[in-house]
Amino acid sequence: MSARRSGPQLDPDRRRRLLEATLRVVAERGVEGVTHRAVAKAAGVPLGSTTYYFESKDDLLAGAIELARERNFATQRRTFARMIEEGADLPRALATWVEEQAGGLRSQLVLDYRLYLAALNRPALRGESARWLEGITDLIREHTDAETARVLGYLLDGILIQAVMHDTIVLAADVEPVFRRLITS
């Protein structure tokens, strides 16, 4: 029988609050700024709470990536459902979504890519990051075949990372023809 820790588990929301705090630290200081101490301070909890729930920085980041990804997918699903309901076809829906992400939701996009790209130097995060693109591809696959969805996922990822890296505004009108050409070819 394994030993059961007491203390922090009295607060069932503490793990989530720590992940929320991790997201705030990443938004403010980047992935490099994430430490158990910084997260504990941002969450307003004792330092021991972070190590109780997350043994390492990679564990904190993996949890934060999962939380951000879940939120991102929920937003994407709602956005796509709304656009399709309003009569947009897949190319238009993708183009509009890109414009929204690279424009009004830019700060969230920057945070998401900071987390997603953390896997470049942290192999322990690669599984969580890979699931990000898989989720996008799965969403698109609901509207097209698997191979086209995969390529569209790569294209979306490339467009959005360029927008983040170069502080570029992406207009739906500029990318819709590209999506349309790829989908209809």
- pLDDT, mean of residues 45-57: 94
User: Between 50 and 5, where is the model more confident?
Assistant: 50
- Which pairs count as long-range contacts for 141-144, CB under 8 Å and 24+ apart, including other chains? 143/80, 143/84, 143/90, 143/93, 144/90, 144/183
* Spatial separation of the C-alpha atoms in residues 141 and 143, rounded to whole Å: 5
pLDDT recorded at residue 133: 85
* Spatial separation of the C-alpha atoms in residues 129 and 115, rounded to whole Å: 8
Q: Is the pLDDT of residue 125 over 50?
A: yes
- pLDDT, mean of residues 154-183: 94
Any idea what DSSP says for residue 54? -
pLDDT recorded at residue 5: 47
Q: Is the pLDDT of residue 107 over 90?
A: no
pLDDT recorded at residue 3: 35
pLDDT recorded at residue 102: 86
- pLDDT, mean of residues 143-172: 93
Q: What is the pLDDT of residues 8-50, one digit of tens each?
A: 456 779 999 999 999 999 999 999 999 999 999 999 999 999 9
Can you list the domains of the chain with their CATH numbers?
Answer: 10-55 (1.10.10.60), 65-184 (1.10.357.10)
* Spatial separation of the C-alpha atoms in residues 90 and 125, rounded to whole Å: 31
Instruction: Write down the mean pLDDT value for the chain.
Output: 89
Any idea what DSSP says for residue 45? S
